[in-house]
Structure 1
Amino acid sequence: MKRTLWLLVAGLFAVLAIPVMLGGRDLLHLLPGFPPGIFALMLGMVLICWLLNGAKLRVLLAGRAGEMGLMRATGTVMATEFAICATPGGSGGPLTLIALLTRRGVRPAQTTAIFAVDQIIDLLFFLCSMVAMMIYVITRSIDARLGWMLVMPMTLLCLALLGVVLMSRYHRSALMVSGRILSRMKVSPRLQQTMVRRILIFKKAFTETLRLPPSALALAFGLGIVHWIVRYSILFVTLYGLGQHLDWAWTFLVQMLSMAAGQLTLLPGGAGGAELSSSALLAPMVGQSTAAAAILIWRAVTYYFYLIAGAPIFMLMAGRPLLKKVFEGRKAEKPSDL
């Protein structure tokens, strides 16, 4: 738990320190002049994102959590995203979601399946977005190095989706092969049986979720698309408030690449990697000081605000015991609850 707290403190420091060091004294002139109305609009965009994700969660639950209203679902999303932002690699997010939905009668395997389908929706969106961005880079004759920067994440996304398809189609063969590997590693047969049982339970819950009506899955995908479009428009609005008018597609590309780079760091919220990569992409277009000011405001809205607004919701819905489990990285529920 202490290690996670120290990483969180380091992440909070990096989000502030890196733009300040890059922007220098010019930040003192740019930040006070940022329009309060634009800043309020950006906070409203985050609230819209939470509402969209709450609606998507309700669609994927399909009544399995009882009569969960939009506000309750949105609160669940806010608490989950707080845990994602506060823990390395977002590891606390799934644990929080499992714990909150278990209290409403949803089995952990079902929650894990819903979380997996939600991630697949995001993977499909980002894959389509990267293809569109690749076309944008080529047609607009933008620096070819950006195109090569997109190749690696596109390849990883394709491999991830291919892995999901192969595992769902050939899961029996995969279990047999993994069983042989575990036997050679001297893993006890009882532990192997427990692992196989959990995987099969998850597979069943995952299949049930994918068997939702096509209209429901299409609605969930549509809500995911709108969420990411709104979420990735925040940097565009930030630059507009600073008097810079870049193409929306360019700011979308900057955020997509910077957040991917942020995943490579061990700090919560991708701190450090997101700031450095976005600065490298923005500075040649708007100048070092303006880029630093934009990054500082953008991250204040998309990282600090997630923590500030999400923390009381998390404590109200989850409480201190779950907070301790999340920060220690322990399972939120017993294995028998599967």
Structure 2
Amino acid sequence: MSRGILLVIALLAAVLIPSLLGGGETWSRLQSFPLEWLLIMFGMILLCWVINTLRLRLLMGDQCIKVSRLKSLGVVMSAEFAYCATPGGSGGPLTIMALLARHGVRPARGSAVFAMDQLSDLLFFLCALSAILIYALFQHLSQRLEWMLTVSAISLFGGLFSCVLMARCHRSLIRLSGRLLARFNVKEATRLRWARKLLHFLAAFTDTLKLPFQTLITVFALTCLHWVLRYSVLYLALRGLGVDLQWAWCFLIQMLSLSAGQFSLLPGGAGAAELTSAALLAPMVGKSTAAAAILIWRTVTYYFYLVVGGPVFLLMLGRPLLKKLMKFKQA
């Protein structure tokens, strides 16, 4: 119940922040926005779901025969809903692993698929951010934007370095964590179970890395296509409002805003993402235009995920529970 209340509060904050920023002009700007542009953006999100479904099936390798294409799409939509509805997106990986496990995919393999998916995302953002850094060398940036760009680059490179370090030194890390857990009086059986699960995950992740090189390249190409489509929504929203802001800056604003939302630990970053994007976008395009663009952007990339993904999430995770209840009543 508390999570539901938190989600409602976050949604209210997400709507109020842009509305207060733009004032009465915001709604007139929204009314003049072309409907066909909005439909195109929704179509882009549907295409993103299809792309992520292909990524999921490629990363599962020979395990993909256990999950049909339609159910794979349901896994992706349910996971996206969980990302948007839980603090810091914590429900996303749990949803993927739970749904794959219900179709016979081992939890270690499911977590490895998720980890590989995240690694592919990380590589894309590193490449994109590096390109933006090179582009920014020839542009005049505000001091605040330069600082945020530098922090983002350091964070991404730090994340990649941490992944490489954990992969190379996993045995030492397991021993170190075992000693730390022993100091906290964690039972030996529990420590061994956790260490075994970690080793199973590493083995499954290694198997995923051993997928054919062409498959991994295809996964990365699909990753790039997915994020380019998704991060073009704000650019198209501004174009529909009559503002021609360069795509690179739209990409950077979205990346920084969503990162701030993740750190806020609010469901879907609601409130924090709007506040950050408003602070970055308003000086460039004006308050009313920024407010209208933010509302369109978040409607397509956040509220749409909740409205469409929610029923799929309940259907895929709620139907087995309903069957158990029916069997109990019949007995």
TM interval, shorter chain, is over 0.9
Aligned-partner residue type, residue 191 of structure 1: T
The Cα of 1:92 is off from its aligned counterpart by 1.2
Q: For the aligned residues, what is the CA RMSD?
A: 1.6
Counterpart mapping for 1:236-255 below 5 A = 236-255=235-254
Contact 2:277–2:294 at 8 Å: present in 1 too?
yes
Contact 1:66–1:104 at 8 Å: present in 2 too?
no
- Structure 2 counterpart of 1:259: 258
- Structure 2 counterpart of 1:330: none
Secondary structure, aligned partner of 2:276: helix
Secondary structure, aligned partner of 2:88: helix
- Structure 1 counterpart of 2:168: 169
- Structure 2 counterpart of 1:201: 200
Secondary structure, aligned partner of 2:33: coil
Contact 2:6–2:267 at 8 Å: present in 1 too?
yes
The Cα of 1:322 is off from its aligned counterpart by 7.4
- Structure 2 counterpart of 1:316: 315
Counterpart mapping for 1:181-330 below 5 A = 181-319=180-318
For 1:215 and 1:38, locate their aligned partners in 2 and report how far apart those are by CA, in whole Å. 35
- Structure 2 counterpart of 1:40: 39
Q: Give percent identity, aligned residues only.
A: 52
**2:92 corresponds to 1:93:** yes
Q: After TM superposition, what 4+ stretches of structure 1 lie above 3 angstroms from structure 2?
A: 67-71, 320-323
The Cα of 1:274 is off from its aligned counterpart by 0.8
Secondary structure, aligned partner of 1:268: coil
For 1:322 and 1:88, locate their aligned partners in 2 and report how far apart those are by CA, in whole Å. 24
Aligned pairs, how many? 322
Aligned-partner residue type, residue 200 of structure 1: L
- Structure 2 counterpart of 1:115: 114
Contact 1:10–1:267 at 8 Å: present in 2 too?
no
The Cα of 1:14 is off from its aligned counterpart by 1.4
For 2:67 and 2:216, locate their aligned partners in 1 and report how far apart those are by CA, in whole Å. 18
Secondary structure, aligned partner of 1:269: coil
The Cα of 1:161 is off from its aligned counterpart by 1.3
> Structure 2 stretches of 5 or more lacking a match?
323-331
- Structure 2 counterpart of 1:127: 126
- Structure 1 counterpart of 2:156: 157
For 1:188 and 1:316, locate their aligned partners in 2 and report how far apart those are by CA, in whole Å. 38
The Cα of 1:71 is off from its aligned counterpart by 3.3
Secondary structure, aligned partner of 2:71: helix
Contact 1:83–1:90 at 8 Å: present in 2 too?
yes
Aligned-partner residue type, residue 291 of structure 1: A
For 1:213 and 1:224, locate their aligned partners in 2 and report how far apart those are by CA, in whole Å. 17
Secondary structure, aligned partner of 1:139: coil
Contact 1:137–1:144 at 8 Å: present in 2 too?
no
The Cα of 1:295 is off from its aligned counterpart by 0.4
Post-superposition Cα deviations, 1:165-189, rounded to whole Å, max 9, x if no partner, equal 1211111111112222222222221
- Structure 2 counterpart of 1:26: 25
Q: TM-score, normalised by structure 2?
A: 0.93
Post-superposition Cα deviations, 1:257-312, rounded to whole Å, max 9, x if no partner, equal 11111112121110111101111111111100110011011101111000011012
- Structure 2 counterpart of 1:145: 144
The Cα of 1:138 is off from its aligned counterpart by 1.6
Contact 1:254–1:281 at 8 Å: present in 2 too?
yes
Aligned-partner residue type, residue 80 of structure 1: A
Higher deviation after alignment, 107-116 or 260-269: 260-269
Contact 1:65–1:105 at 8 Å: present in 2 too?
no
Q: TM-score, normalised by structure 1?
A: 0.92
Contact 2:66–2:103 at 8 Å: present in 1 too?
no
Secondary structure, aligned partner of 1:250: helix
Post-superposition Cα deviations, 1:34-64, rounded to whole Å, max 9, x if no partner, equal 1110110110011111111111001101130
